[in-house]
Structure 1
């Protein structure tokens, strides 16, 4: 089983959106038994809460389930549990590396989501909690989840 963790600040907008979109892609391709996905936040403000109403509305519009997704905080154990830890912006990446300490230094399993989309000029997925632009984030997340799946298939050809 390959495991993917998406991380943002509060785990109510970007990372749960990525988790839901990626989970939807996996289900459509019949890969949910081979790849597991989750999301977490670096902060603890929204623990146990469902995704933000803007994220829920957008996912509903696209027919993507967010059932069972609740905010949680990144845990030290996540480093050993997940094969890919995908951070929605550079601050999240920095904070995640601090949580994991020296074992995360220069570790390729921790990377920025936008590294999957080199044609885009930004290093960060904008935070719609502040910008309100959930559609822009959905576009990036949708494209990035496809690229992540390509990367996983390339790096784990024996699993597919």
Structure 2
């Protein structure tokens, strides 16, 4: 069985590609590369085809994560059947995702920070506006760690 995880933010150039890369690194380190498929997407369409933001590139480079194939794409209806988990970064993303989600979809739709209950932040702030990529990195890492743990427990990996 392959568990499929899609990270979603507004533009798919900052938070969701950071989560995609950092989660992939954690999955690889856990030896689960063949069991978990990972992607990211946007709710908005103005960055389509663009690589991650330079701030996200710097974070991923620091962790030795290759982002050369990452390009912003728009979430679509098929994603709600193609993925088991659709993970948003903030309340605005979640509202957009809830509106897009087909009624018959059984996808797990949650915020990344739902998987980091020890954190005081309930959302991952957008560093495109805050400029604080270090805080985003810290929160994304905590959320990804908790998500991986939840998946491992649920699917006995």
TM-score (norm 1): 0.92
Match of 1:121 in 2: 120
Q: Within the alignment, does 1:131 sit opposite 2:130 as a pair?
A: yes
Match of 1:148 in 2: 147
Please give the alpha-carbon distance, in whole angstroms, between the structure 2 residues aligned to 1:12 and 1:103: 29
Please give the alpha-carbon distance, in whole angstroms, between the structure 2 residues aligned to 1:47 and 1:113: 22
Match of 2:92 in 1: 91
Secondary structure at the aligned position of 1:40 is classed as strand
Please give the alpha-carbon distance, in whole angstroms, between the structure 2 residues aligned to 1:119 and 1:108: 25
Which sections of structure 1, spanning at least 5 residues, go unmatched?
Answer: none
Regions of 4+ moved over 2 Å: 101-104, 119-123
Please give the alpha-carbon distance, in whole angstroms, between the structure 1 residues aligned to 2:68 and 2:29: 16
Please say if residues 116 and 143 of structure 2, whose CA atoms lie closer than 8 Å, have aligned partners that are also in contact. Answer: yes
Query: Could you say which structure has the higher helix fraction?
Result: 1
Please say if residues 81 and 107 of structure 2, whose CA atoms lie closer than 8 Å, have aligned partners that are also in contact. Answer: no
Q: Within the alignment, does 1:52 sit opposite 2:53 as a pair?
A: yes
> How far off is 1:139 after superposition?
0.6
Please give the alpha-carbon distance, in whole angstroms, between the structure 2 residues aligned to 1:47 and 1:128: 18
Please give the alpha-carbon distance, in whole angstroms, between the structure 1 residues aligned to 2:74 and 2:107: 21
> How far off is 1:108 after superposition?
6.4
Which sections of structure 2, spanning at least 5 residues, go unmatched?
Answer: none
Is the deviation greater in 65-74 or in 44-53? 65-74
> How far off is 1:124 after superposition?
1.2
Match of 2:17 in 1: 16
